[in-house]
Structure 1
Amino acid sequence: MTAFFSHPDRIFASYFIETAFPLEQAAATMAGEQSTGTFLRVPGETDQLREQFAARVESIVEGEHAASPSLPGSGTPKNWDGIRRTATVTLSWPLHNIGPSLPNLLATVAGNLSELQAFSGLRLLDLSLPSAFLDRYQGPQFGVVGTRQFTGVYDRPLIGTIIKPSIGLTADQTAAQVRTLAEAGIDFIKDDELQSDGPLCPFEARTSAVLGVLREIHDRTGRRIMYAANLTGELDQMLRRHDHLVREGGTCLMVSMNSIGLPAMTALRAHSQLVVHGHRNGWGMLGRYPALGMNFVAFQKLWRLAGIDHTHVNGLRNKFCESDDSVIASARACLTPMFPAPNKGCEVMPVFSSGQSARQALETFRALNSTDLIYAAGGGIMGHPGGPVAGVRSLQQAWEAATLDIPLNTYATTHPELAAALELFGN
C-alpha cells in the first residue's frame, strides 16, 4: 500500500481513483457504498450504527489531473470546475462487518465500486488484513521451502517448462515428451491450462502415464521432477483427481484460479496433500487496464490465503503486454510476508514464464535479487539448436552466471550451450 495501515480488527484497502467530483466527496461515496450507506440516508441508519459499521476514509493523496475520462459513463457534479482529479484513497472497515471471509472480503473491497457514476477510473491497489484471516484460512501448505524440499533443488531457480503443443497430444505422447524433458535435466513440468480431461487425453490416463515415467527416472537417478497436473474442474472432480495423483505418487497439482473461485480453492487446499500451482489465466481481464480492476499485489494476497503455493507473474520482455517493472513488482509481492512477525508470512513461489530463455536470466536475478522462483521456458528449451538437453543446460548456465554476477557473453565463452542460446535468442 502507498502508506501501510495495520490494525488487528480492521481491513484496509487502497485504490486509485479518477473523478470529476471533489476528492473528499468521492471517497465518502466509496465508503458509504461499501458499508452502511446508499445514495440517501435511510431509516435505521443511525449515528450509532454508522459509528459501529461504516467504512472510514483513512487517507487521500491527490495525484495528477486527468485530461479525459478513462472509463465511459461517468458523471460530473453541478457547478463542475472542469478538473478531473486522481488520487490514492485508503478505506478501512471493521472486521466485524464480515468476519474473516475471503468471498465477503472481495464483495466488500471490490464490489459495486467500479460501477459508480462518480468515477471515471477506480482500481484496487493493495490490501492489509488482520491476522484473523490467517487463523481462518490455511494459506500455502508448502510454498518456496516445500517446493525446494520436494525437488531437492536449492540455491538456484527451478528450471521448468510446459507441455507443448498445449492440446492435441495423447496420454502416451505427453508421457513421451515428459521423458525427453526429464532426461534433459528439467526440474518442473506443467500441463497447459487448456489441457485437463478431454476425450483424447483423459486426466487419469495422462497423469498415470506421466507419473509412471517420473517414478522410473526417480528410481534410476534419484531426481524428483515436479509435474503440475491440471485438475481444474468441478469441486468433486478436483478432489477425485487430487486423490488419483496421490495414489500415483504425484507431488503437484495445477488449478486455474479464476475459473474455480476462492471458495473452491479453499476447499481444495483443505483436502490437498500436494503442492498447489495456481495458474492466473484470465488475469488480463482484471489487471490490464490501469484505471479498472485490481493490481496483482492485491490479487495474489487473496489467493495466497486461499492456499496456492506457486503463481505466475509473466517474465521480463514477455510475449504479453506486462511491463518488466510490473513483473518484478508482482514477483516481489509473492515473496513478501503478508503479516508482521511472529505470524506466518504466506510467501509463495513466483513463476516466470512467457517468452523466457537464457537471455533474461541475469536481468531477472539483478532485478529480483532472489533465486526463489520457477523459470519456465518452452521454446527456450525445446527450440535450442542442440536439443532439449542443451536447452535445459543453457538455462542452468545462465543462472550460474547470474548468481556469480558474470555477464552472459563472458560466461558463454566457456559454456557452449549458453553460447548457442544467446546466438539464437539474442543478447
Structure 2
Amino acid sequence: MAVYGMLAKFRTEKHGRGQAVSDPIRIEADYLIETTFDPRAAAEAMAGEQSSGTFVPVPGETPELKARSAARIEALDIQDNEIPQPSLPGSANPKGLAEPIRRQARVTLSWPLENIGPSLPNLVATVAGNLFELRQFSGLRLLDMRLPTAFAQAYPGPKFGIAGTRRLAGVADLPLIGTIIKPSVGFGPEETAALTKTLCEAGIDFIKDDELQSDGPHCPFDERARAVMRVINDHADRTGKKVMYAFNLTGELDQMRHRHDLVVELGGTCIMASLNSVGIVGMVELGRFSQLPIHAHRNGWGYLSRSPVLGWSYVAWQKIWRLAGADHMHVNGLQSKFSEPDESVITSARACLTPMFADKPCITMPVFSSGQSAKQAPGTYAGLESADLIVTAGGGIMAHPDGPAAGVSGLREAWEATLAGIPLGDYAREHPALAKALEAHAA
C-alpha cells in the first residue's frame, strides 16, 4: 500500500475521518518505520532519543523523571511485509543475527506538553529531530501529528482563510481562477504590470508572483508592487472587481515587514511567502503582523517528501504552517509535471480543509498548481468534494488558442460544468472557450 493510502487508513482506524482529535496535555505523532530490529525496541529507541533518554543510562534519568518527561509508545502496528533491501543507506542490524528480517511498522509516540510548551520550533525538534539519523532504521517518515489545544491558543492560525479570501476576491462559490506571472523571472516592473492588465481584463480572480521573483535589481519589489497595483486599482475603479495579487515578499524579517506594509498602503489584498525559505520563526512573525491573506508556497517540498520512507507527509507538515498563519497552501495538482501521485495530492488538499481543533479549525485554502487546465476540474472536485480552492493555471490560461481571456473563461466554465454535474464534453458544445481548452489539452 502506498504511504498516502496507508496514512489515510491509519488515521481512519485511530481517530475517524475528518475529526479534530487531540489530548489536552500530550503531543502525538504517527510514523512509518523500517527496521531489522524488534519494532518495539526500535520504537523505544525513538522515544528515548526524543525525550529523556540517551544511548546509555545517565545518573539523572530516574524513574520519577521518566514518568514525568519520557515519550510513550501509544500504538504499534507491525506490517506483514518483509523488505528485501534497506530503503536507505547507513542502517545497522542487530548483533548476532545472520539473516535479519526487515519489516515496516506504524508507530504512534506521545510526549507531555510540559517538555516544550506550545512552541512550533521546538515541536519540530521533538517530532522530527534526530530520529531520521538513528541507525536502527532503514526508513522513517513522519505521517501525522495531533497537538494539544494550547497550540491553538499560542498561535494565530489563518486570519482570513476561505471566507476572508472569497470576500476580498469577490468570488462566492466557484474556485478562484488564477495564474502565475510567466516567465518566472526576466520581466521588469512595467512588463509585469502590462501582463497583469491583460489578465485583469481577461476576468482573472487571482494572480501570483512566481516564487523565483523577489527583489532583484531588474525587478525591485517596491517598483513592481506600485506598477502592478496601479493596474489593479484602475481596473477595480472601472469594473468593481479587484483582482487578488499575491506579491512574493520572501526575505528577512525587516524586509518582509516593509514589503507587507507597502502592499497594504497600495491597497493590495494578498502577500506570498516561501515557507522553506523564511522558516518557522519567519512565518510565525509574518502571521502575527500581517493584515492580508498569506499565500504560502511550498517550493522545496520535494526534498522533504519524495522518498516514501523518509521525511514528512504533507498531512503532518501543513499543520505547522496553518497554525503559523498560512491562509492558502500549495498542494500540487492532478496530472501535473511533478512526481507526486494524484492520490497524494488529494490527501494533501483534504488535510488543509480538515479542522485541527474543535474550537479553532485553522482551515487553509488549498492551491492546485503545476500543469493545471480545464480537464482536471472533474477529477479535482471528485477527490476534494469541495470548491474551496484556488487553481493556478499558467499554460492552461495563457496558451489558450484564443488568448488569455478565453483561457480564463474556459477554466471557469469547466468548473461551472463540474459543480453542476455536467460532463465537460456536453457543456463544451455550447461553450467554445471550454471546447478549445479541452482540445488544446487533450493529450
- Taking structure 1 as the reference length, the TM-score comes to 0.98
* 1:316-372 deviation per Cα after TM superposition (whole angstroms, max 9, x unaligned): 100000100000000000000011x2x110000000010000011111111111100
Confirm or deny that 1:110 pairs with 2:110.
no
**Residue 79 of structure 1: which of 96, 108, 133 is its match?**
96
Structure 1: which amino acid aligns with 2:442? G
2:145 counterpart residue number: 127
SS at match of 2:42: helix
Aligned to 1:57: 73
Q: Unpaired runs of 5+ in structure 1?
A: none
CA distance in 2, matches of 1:398, 1:270: 37
What does residue 181 of structure 1 align with? 199
The code of the aligned residue for 2:210 comes to D
Partner of 1:277: 295
The answer to whether the 8 Å contact 2:178/2:205 transfers is yes
CA distance in 2, matches of 1:237, 1:362: 41
What residue in structure 2 maps to residue 308 of structure 1? 326
SS of residue matched to 1:100: coil
In 2, the alpha carbon distance for the partners of 1:295 and 1:391 equals 34
- Is it true that 1:385 corresponds to 2:401 in the alignment? yes
The residue number in structure 2 matching 1:210 is 228
Contact 2:92 2:135 in 1 (8 A): yes
Q: Secondary structure at the match of 1:293?
A: strand
Counterpart of 2:84?
A: 67
Which residue among 355, 375, 378 is the counterpart of 1:359? 375
Q: How does 1:327-366 map to 2 (within 5 A)?
A: 327-339=345-357, 341=358, 343-366=359-382
The AA in structure 2 aligned to 1:71 is L
* Residue of structure 2 aligned with 1:25, choices 41, 45, 52: 41
**In the alignment, which residue of structure 2 is the partner of 1:168?**
186
Amino acid in the other structure paired with 1:380 = G
Cα pair 2:247 2:272 within 8 Å, conserved: yes
- Report the counterpart of residue 402 of structure 1 in structure 2: 418
Provide the rounded CA distance (Å) in 1 between the counterparts of 2:408 and 2:22.
44
Tell me the C-alpha RMSD between the 2 structures.
Answer: 0.9
2:203 and 2:441 map into 1 onto residues whose CA distance is 21
Pick from 49, 56, 61 the counterpart of residue 45 of structure 1. 61
What's the secondary structure of 1:255's corresponding residue? strand
Q: Which amino acid aligns with 2:402?
A: G
Partner AA of 1:182 in structure 2: C
CA distance in 2, matches of 1:120, 1:199: 46
Candidates 265, 280, 286, aligned match of 1:262: 280
Deviation at 1:6, TM superposition (A): 2.9
SS in 1 for 2:64: helix
Q: Deviations over 1:196-243 (max 9, x none)?
A: 100000000001100110000111100011000000001110001100
2:375 aligned partner, one-letter code = R
Could you tell me the percent identity over the aligned residues? 61
CA displacement 1:153-181 (0-9 Å, x = unmatched): 01110000000000000100000000000
Aligned residue for 1:237? 255
1:134 aligned partner, one-letter code: A
CA deviation map 1:21-75 (0-9, x unaligned):
0011000000000000011110110000000000000010011221210010000
Query: Which amino acid in the other structure matches residue 362 of structure 1?
Result: P
Displaced runs of 4+ in structure 1, greater than 6 A? none
* Structure 1 CA distance for aligned equivalents of residues 432 and 93 of structure 2: 64
Residues 121-154 of structure 1, C-alpha deviation per residue, up to 9 Å, x if partnerless?
Answer: 0000001000100100001000111100101101
Matched positions, count: 425
CA distance in 1, matches of 2:365, 2:200: 21
Question: Matches of 2:59 and 2:109 in 1, distance apart?
Answer: 25
CA distance in 1, matches of 2:90, 2:58: 26
Equivalent residue letter for 1:324: D
Q: Could you state the TM-score of these two structures normalised by the residue count of structure 2?
A: 0.95
The alignment partner of 2:82 has SS state of coil
Amino acid at match of 1:393: S
Which shows bigger deviation, 173-182 or 147-156? Answer: 147-156
Contact 2:120 2:280 (C-alpha < 8 Å) held by counterparts: yes
Contact 2:22-2:149 at 8 Å conserved across structures: no
Separation in 2 of the partners of 1:82 and 1:101? Answer: 40
Whichever residue aligns with residue 257 of structure 1, its letter is L
Alpha-carbon separation, structure 2, partners of 1:138 and 1:176 = 36
Match of 2:50 in 1: 34
Matching residue of 2:441: 425
Shift of 1:79: 3.0
Q: Unaligned stretches of 5+ in structure 2?
A: 1-9, 16-20
C-alpha distance in 2 between matches for 1:66 and 1:14:
20
Contact kept in structure 1, 2:181 and 2:208, CA below 8 Å: yes
> Deviation string for 1:96-141 (max 9, x for gaps)?
0000000000000000000000000000000100010010000100
Hey, what's the Cα distance between the residues in 1 that align with 2:60 and 2:383?
54
Partner Cα separation in structure 1 for residue 385 and residue 55 of structure 2? 49
Q: Comparing 392-401 with 76-85, which one deviates more in the overlay?
A: 76-85
Amino acid at match of 2:273: V
